[in-house]
Homo-oligomer: A and B are copies of this chain.
Amino acid sequence: MSEQIEERDYDEYRVIEPLGDWKRTHSCNEITAKNLGEEILIMGWVQFRRDHGGLIFIDLRDREGLTQVVFSPEHNVDAHERAHAIRSEYVVAIKGQVRERPDGMINKNLTTGEIEIVVDEWKLLNTSETPPFAIEDRTDAAEQLRLKYRFLDLRRPALARNFILRNKAAQSVRRYLDGLGFLEVETPVLTKSTPEGARDFLVPSRMNSGEFYALPQSPQLFKQMLMVSGLDRYFQIVKCFRDEDLRADRQPEFTQIDIEMSFVDEEQIMGMAENMIRTVFNETIETALPAEFPRMTFADAMRDYGCDKPDVRFDLKLQEASDIFRGSDFKVFGKAELCKVLRVPDGAQLSRKEIDEYTKFVEIYGSKGLAWIKVKEDGTWQSPIVKFFSEEECTKLQELTGCQPGDILFFQAGAADIVNAALAALRLKLGERFELIDESKFAPLWVTDFPLLEYNPDEKRYVARHHPFTSPQVGQIDELAEKPGDALARAYDLVINGYEIGGGSIRIHTPEMQEKMFAALGIDEEEARAKFGFLMDALKFGAPPHGGIAFGLDRLIMILCGAKSIRDVIAFPKTQKATCLMTEAPSGVASTQLRDLGIRLREKKEA
C-alpha cells in the first residue's frame, strides 16, 4: 500500500487545472445519509490519503469539516489512476456520488461519518510541498515555526474554530447594540499623542514635518466628543495601541468593544453591558450566565481576594490578621503595614517541596518569605514560626480562621500592595493545585466603588486610576481636594473568572468638575489646555451627562474559546518582541522614506 506510493512519483498527473465552471454544492461538513445517491461537488484540502484494497481514500478538509472520498477503478479508471499523484495538502475538487460507508468504516464522531463520496471526476486545483508541520489539532511544532507559517497553522481546525467563534461573537455584539439604537462610528487611527497613560506609537507626518500622529490607546476623548455632539449612543469594535513591554498575554495592537451613552447613570450602563455579555455567551457557546451578575466593592475585593479582579469560581478568601499581631514580639508580623492569612482546607498534605516552590513563586510579587502553619490531625500546629507567637495570638488566630486538622494557613506580612498581590496570586495557584476551580463554569462579577485617584510614589502625586475624565461619586467633590485618596469614582469593572474583561465609568460633564479633577491631579490650567484643550472647549457647550464602558475583545474571545494564549485568538499576532514572524515586520526602510518624513535614525553610540 504505502510503499506503492513511493515507486513512481506520478508527476505527469500533477497538472493544475482551472476551476472552469465547477461550483461547490456542499461544504465538507454537511453531507449525510440524507444525501445518499446525490451527485455532489466539494472542494478542499487533502487531510490524509490511504490506499486500501485497490481503492484510494482521502479525507477532504475545508473550514467546516471533513468528508471521506474514495477513488475506485471500477467507478472511473482514469480518476483512480490520477489519484495516485495526490499528496497531503493538495487542493482538489471532487465530483461524485454520495454512498453509504461500509459497516466497519462508519465514524460516529463526524457529521459526515456515515457516508463517503465515490469519485466520478476530479480536478487538481493545486499541489503542495510537504508542510513544515502536520496540519492537525494536536501539534508539537514550536510556536516560532507555527507563527512563521501562520497560513498553515490557521488550517488546524482547533485554531480555525477560534476565528469562526470570534466572528460570531463580534456580530452578536453588533446585532445587540444596533438593536438598542447604538451607532457604530469610526474614530481616527491617526490622532494626537495622549500624554496620560501608556506609551504611544508615533507616526511621523510627512506633510507637517517634525510633527507626529499617535495611534490611539483608546478612542476615549472621541467618544466623549460624540456624546457632546448628541449622537447619544455610540459603539465601535476598534483597534487600540499601546507601546508597552509585552507581558505574556499582551499585544501591541488589541481590539476593544468601545461603548458610550448619554443621559444615563451607571446602573443603566451596567445593565446594558451585562445583558450584552449574556447575549454573546448565549449566541456563541450556548451558555447561560446568571440572570443578574453579582457585585462586589473594590474594598471588599481587596480585603477578601487581595486584588480587584477576583476569580470567584472558588471560595478561598484572605483574612486580615493585622489586629492580632499588631505590636507582636514576632516583629515581621508585629511591624507590618498589613498581615493577612489564607486558610486552605485540607492543605496540610502539601509537601515541603511544594511549599518551597510557592515561596519562590510569591517572590515574583515582592514577597520576602511565605510563613505557614499546618494543622496536624491531633490539632497541634506544625510551623517554623508558631514558636514566636504568644498564646493569645494563637487563640485569636484559631478564632479568626476556624482552621481544622488537615488545613494549612499561609501568611504574608509587609507592605499592603505586596501582601495582597502575593496572596492573590498564591490563592489562584492553590485553586489549581487543589482542583477547586470548575473549568466549565463562568463566574462574572461587577467590581464597583473604585478609588478615583491613586498615589504614584514615583511622580509624588495622585494620578487617575481609570483616566482623568472619570466622575467622582456624588458628594465626593470635597474629598477630591481634601483627601484625594479617599474619593470614590463612578467606575465599574466586569470580571469573568479572574480576568478583567471590561471597565468603564460615568464621565465628568461640566467644566467646573473637570477643573477640580485636574487640580487634584496637579495639572495646571496651561497644561490642561495644551493637553485637553478641545475637551475643555467641548464641556462648555452643553455636554450631556454621559458614561460608557469598554471591553477587551481579545480577552473575551479567549474566555469563550477556552484558549490559553491571546495569540490563539488573533489571526496574525506579534511575538513578545512585537515582531510578526510571517511578514518580518517591523523592518528596515529606505533612507529616502525617512528623508521624506524629516527624520533620521539616531546613531547607536548616542543611544
Tell me the smallest distance from the CB of A413 to a CB of chain B, in Å: 38
Cβ of A331: which chain B residues have Cβ within 8 Å of it? Answer: none
B239 pairs with A215, CB closer than 8 A: no
Q: CA separation between A142 and B453, bound complex, in Å?
A: 41
Q: CA separation between A222 and B586, bound complex, in Å?
A: 16
Q: CA separation between A571 and B236, bound complex, in Å?
A: 13
Tell me the smallest distance from the CB of A546 to a CB of chain B, in Å: 10
The residue in chain B whose Cβ has the minimal distance to the Cβ of A593 is B202
A164 pairs with B187, CB closer than 8 A: no
Given A230-B45, A541-B131, A599-B602, does the pair A580, B91 have CB atoms closer than 8 Å? no
B596 pairs with A231, CB closer than 8 A: no
- A397 close to chain B: CB less than 8 A: no
Task: Identify which of B93, B131, B202, B222 contacts A571 (C-beta below 8 A).
Answer: B222
Q: CA separation between A93 and B545, bound complex, in Å?
A: 11
Task: Identify which of B170, B212, B595 contacts A589 (C-beta below 8 A).
Answer: B212
Tell me the smallest distance from the CB of A454 to a CB of chain B, in Å: 24
The residue in chain B whose Cβ has the minimal distance to the Cβ of A579 is B208
Tell me the smallest distance from the CB of A396 to a CB of chain B, in Å: 45
User: Which among A151-159, A341-349, A355-363, A457-465 touches the partner chain?
Assistant: A151-159
Q: A185-223 interface mask toward B, CB cutoff 8 Å, 1 = contact, 0 = none?
A: 111111111000001111111111111111100000110
Residue total for A at the interface (Cβ-Cβ under 8 A): 126
Q: CA separation between A166 and B187, bound complex, in Å?
A: 13
Q: A210-253 interface mask toward B, CB cutoff 8 Å, 1 = contact, 0 = none?
A: 11111100000110011011111000000101010100000011
Q: CA separation between A600 and B167, bound complex, in Å?
A: 41
- A574 close to chain B: CB less than 8 A: yes
A167 pairs with B183, CB closer than 8 A: yes
Tell me the smallest distance from the CB of A508 to a CB of chain B, in Å: 11
- A150 close to chain B: CB less than 8 A: yes
- A540 close to chain B: CB less than 8 A: yes
- A70 close to chain B: CB less than 8 A: no
The residue in chain B whose Cβ has the minimal distance to the Cβ of A194 is B583
B164 pairs with A91, CB closer than 8 A: no
A589 pairs with B202, CB closer than 8 A: yes
A229 pairs with B544, CB closer than 8 A: no
A585 pairs with B125, CB closer than 8 A: no
B534 pairs with A186, CB closer than 8 A: no
Q: A267-292 interface mask toward B, CB cutoff 8 Å, 1 = contact, 0 = none?
A: 01000000000000000000000000
Q: Which residues of A contact B (CB under 8 A)?
A: 16, 18-19, 23-24, 43-45, 61-63, 89-91, 93, 125-129, 131, 149-155, 160, 163-164, 166-167, 170-171, 174, 178, 183-193, 199-215, 221-222, 225-226, 228-232, 239, 241, 243, 245, 252-253, 255, 262-265, 268, 474, 509-510, 533-534, 537-538, 540-545, 570-572, 574, 577-580, 582-589, 593-602, 607
Known: A89-B541, A167-B185, A598-B602. 20 other contacts (CB 8 A): A91-B542, A125-B545, A126-B545, A131-B541, A151-B225, A154-B229, A155-B229, A167-B183, A186-B255, A187-B571, A199-B593, A199-B596, A201-B213, A207-B577, A209-B607, A211-B586, A212-B587, A214-B589, A222-B572, A599-B599
Instruction: Rank and list the top 4 A-B pairs by shortest CB-CB distance, nearest first.
Output: A128-B542, A154-B229, A192-B585, A211-B586
